[in-house]
Amino acid sequence: MSEINESTENNRLKIQTGIDPNFLSATLTEDIQLTDAIFDLFDNSIDAARNQITNDAKQKTLKDEFGLPSNYSGYEITLTLDTDAIAAADNCMGFDKEALKNEALYIGRRSDHPFGIGNYGVGLKRALMKAGEEINVTTENSHNRYEINFNVRAFGNDSDEAIYAIPIKKTGNLGTTLTVKSLRAGIEHQLKDQEWYNNFIKEISIRYSIFIKKGLKISVINNHLNQTNLCITPSLPDIRDEEPLPVSTTTIPNINGVNTYIKTGVHGDYRFKGELGHNQTVNTRISNEFGIYFICNDRVIVAHSTEEKHGFTTQWHNEYAGFACIVRMVADSPSQLPWNTAKTELQTSGSFFLHIRKHIEPLAKDYRAKAKKIIKAWNNPSIRGLADSERKRRFREELGLPAIPKKPISQFTTRNSNSTQNRNPEDDKNRKTNGNSNVTGNHNNGEAKSHPPSSSTKKLISSDSHSNKLNTILPNDFPQPSNSQNLNNMIVEAHNMNFTESPHAASMLYRAILEGSSRHYASKTGNFNAVKDHFYSKGEGKGKNHSDEYKKAQGIDLTMTLKWLNDNTNLFPDPDRKTLKLCLKSVLSDNQKLNGIVHCKSITNEAEFRIIRDKSLELVRFFITEAETKGK
């Protein structure tokens, strides 16, 4: 018997178990889009930032009304879409030794980040497998810096490949950079597709709106399309707190560890007919933003839905125009939140969500009923034939709203405190009567003053950057030069011109401001001749056989200044050098488009102009601020 047992022991077969890495990759990634995979990388960075905030004695007490961190200022995520790689870099808290060893690349281990937005333990790994095959990770915290290189096949447990983190010299730059190389088939094609990229940027502005509003900076550099989107602006709509339709709020406390807050009202930019500021062009532009938004721990999961499964149980009608419902779900443990693993949808058939939906259904119907009263008041036959001002007065009276306050004679106030001393109030009245709000006439004998320049140029980037909610070319606080009449007049017009109505005219004016501010900067900082010398020694003038007399008379233009500055980026203030270099790259790329519009060879639209303006605005600010400071 012992001989038989011994023979059996010697001849037994070891049965292989495990997961084929190709199957693992396909299973985890086949139902997720590239956009959502990249967002998993963003979520990983945000969780790291939140951990750092909640562990900081000073910052952890700074919370919003929902008990979540209120300030992400100083944290940045930069995504680079390169010709052969995708890289996501952050300056958040790098992985500590234990997390790197036991959690970072372990598939399926649920997140324990308090109020986190990573949950199922697959997001980071899935993102890496979706994008490519070769992975490089560098991460640094206050104690260590590590580098990791591996192939995604190492995720399969039948792989002989071990993954090692190699300690390397610290740099003092905390954060993590994840780089994916050997991109998978089809990925590079998507990165080159302009339509995909435009939608990708739009999705960032929606999904991460709240984090961006709280100070987080997200930038994307697409080297395939030679486009850069710096500090993407949020697009989650606000809800109006003022008349004519009151806000409705509902709180549903602690169901399975989730607190839910529902706010319903009028989209922040929407105005009913008869209201002060009504603009049908704006109402049409924002019409795809109406609907229900679901947000989990500050991360937008569902945007502008009018689907029955989310609580919008009737057919869409024009009387719902302007409707916005924000549903915020907050949980200490992200596993309690009703989202799917890709964070693109909610678990709408679960008991928790069905309970929440019961509260949403009547809110939409109530909005329609109240909106109908407003529409009916404006269309009342008894006031329809009246003059516009009288009709609006009666409209407000019928709704029980306070009368519109009378406006002062002057519609425009320049930021120069002395600029009104030599102005005739009657001129302002005439200007108002003529409908001309773009003031370009003589102010104080034509010598408009700028804001007093900053005492230091070490930090030029405005913390209150031009919001995508403002539709003028430049924000009202944008600096004006004190010693350039022409440029000053252009900036004054840009403070007032609405580019959503005139994107081509706005493009021409903005191109002129770029040209004028760059030349103003070169002249006032003593670099005029340096720009010209660069043109003839390294630029397009190198091969031109111009005489010395011609060269002496030669002026400079925007392209010459940009290319000179591109070789002298050390002139940018240290804290903002990276941002300004990206701005510079964007202007070099977009200048051809603007020139085409100026010469009637290209057309544009408000969305394209907004992108061009947002990518370059801080460079224009730099030109003017530096000229003011160093040109004294």
520 band by pLDDT with thresholds 50, 70 and 90: very high
User: Where is mean pLDDT largest: 3-12, 298-307, 526-535?
Assistant: 298-307
- pLDDT score for 575: 82
- pLDDT score for 429: 39
Give domain status of residue 10, yes or no.
no
- Asked if pLDDT for residue 210 goes beyond 80, the answer is yes
Report strand pairing: 175-183 vs 85-90: antiparallel
Mean pLDDT of 509-521: 93
- Asked if pLDDT for residue 449 goes beyond 60, the answer is no
Give domain status of residue 399, yes or no.
no
Between 168 and 422, the higher pLDDT residue: 168
Judge contact between 524 and 516, C-beta under 8 A. Answer: no
Domain that includes residue 157, residue range: 30-229
Mean pLDDT of 128-145: 86
- Asked if pLDDT for residue 25 goes beyond 70, the answer is no
Give domain status of residue 445, yes or no.
no
User: Which domain-ending residue is among 319, 350, 378?
Assistant: 378
CA–CA gap between residue 493 and residue 498 (Å, rounded): 10
Percent of the chain with pLDDT over 70: 80
Co-location of 254 and 224 in the same domain: no
Closest CA to 238 of 270, 260, 214, 278: 270
Co-location of 173 and 261 in the same domain: no
Co-location of 516 and 594 in the same domain: yes
Give domain status of residue 6, yes or no.
no
User: How does DSSP classify residue 310?
Assistant: G
Number of helices followed by number of strands (H, E) in the chain: 20, 13
Which structure tokens are listed for 37? 């995979």
Give domain status of residue 474, yes or no.
yes
Co-location of 279 and 144 in the same domain: no
Co-location of 34 and 155 in the same domain: yes
45 band by pLDDT with thresholds 50, 70 and 90: very high
Closest CA to 606 of 525, 505, 524, 537: 505
Model pLDDT for residues 27-40, shown as the tens digit of each residue: 555 567 889 889 98
Closest CA to 222 of 232, 214, 213, 212: 232
Mean pLDDT of 581-604: 88
- Three-state secondary-structure class, residue 12: coil
Co-location of 373 and 257 in the same domain: yes
Between 57 and 288, the higher pLDDT residue: 288
Co-location of 291 and 160 in the same domain: no
Residues 6+ apart with CB under 8 A from 562: 518, 584, 587, 588, 591
Between 415 and 367, the higher pLDDT residue: 367
User: Which domain-ending residue is among 327, 356, 378?
Assistant: 378
Co-location of 181 and 274 in the same domain: no
- pLDDT score for 433: 37
Give domain status of residue 441, yes or no.
no
CA–CA gap between residue 122 and residue 360 (Å, rounded): 32
427 band by pLDDT with thresholds 50, 70 and 90: very low
- pLDDT score for 405: 59
412 band by pLDDT with thresholds 50, 70 and 90: very low
Question: Burial of 194 by CB count in 10 Å (0-12 exposed, 13-18 middle, 19+ buried)?
Answer: exposed
Give domain status of residue 254, yes or no.
yes
Number of domains in the chain: 3
Percent of the chain with pLDDT over 90: 44
- Asked if pLDDT for residue 422 goes beyond 90, the answer is no
User: Which domain-ending residue is among 358, 378, 398?
Assistant: 378
How far, in Å, are 495, 532, 564, 607 from residue 498 at the CA level?
Answer: 9, 36, 33, 13
Q: Which CATH number fits the domain that encloses residue 175?
A: 3.30.565.10
Co-location of 309 and 370 in the same domain: yes
Model pLDDT for residues 251-265, shown as the tens digit of each residue: 999 999 999 999 999
Mean pLDDT of 230-244: 89
Co-location of 158 and 274 in the same domain: no
Judge contact between 371 and 322, C-beta under 8 A. Answer: yes
- pLDDT score for 129: 73
Co-location of 224 and 253 in the same domain: no
- The residue assigned the tokens 């002060």 is 276
Model pLDDT for residues 306-339, shown as the tens digit of each residue: 999 999 988 888 899 999 999 999 999 888 999 9
* Average model confidence (pLDDT) across the chain: 81
Report the range of poorest mean pLDDT among 224-228, 270-274, 600-604: 600-604
Mean pLDDT of 132-148: 89
- pLDDT score for 9: 62
Closest CA to 265 of 332, 222, 320: 320
The DSSP element (H or E) to which 375 belongs, if any, is helix 351-378
* Total Cβ atoms within 10 A of residue 57: 6
CA–CA gap between residue 584 and residue 561 (Å, rounded): 10
Model pLDDT for residues 84-120, shown as the tens digit of each residue: 899 999 998 888 888 777 766 654 455 567 888 875 4
Q: Which CATH number fits the domain that encloses residue 272?
A: 3.30.230
Give domain status of residue 383, yes or no.
no
160 band by pLDDT with thresholds 50, 70 and 90: low
- The residue assigned the tokens 């509902």 is 250
Co-location of 187 and 297 in the same domain: no
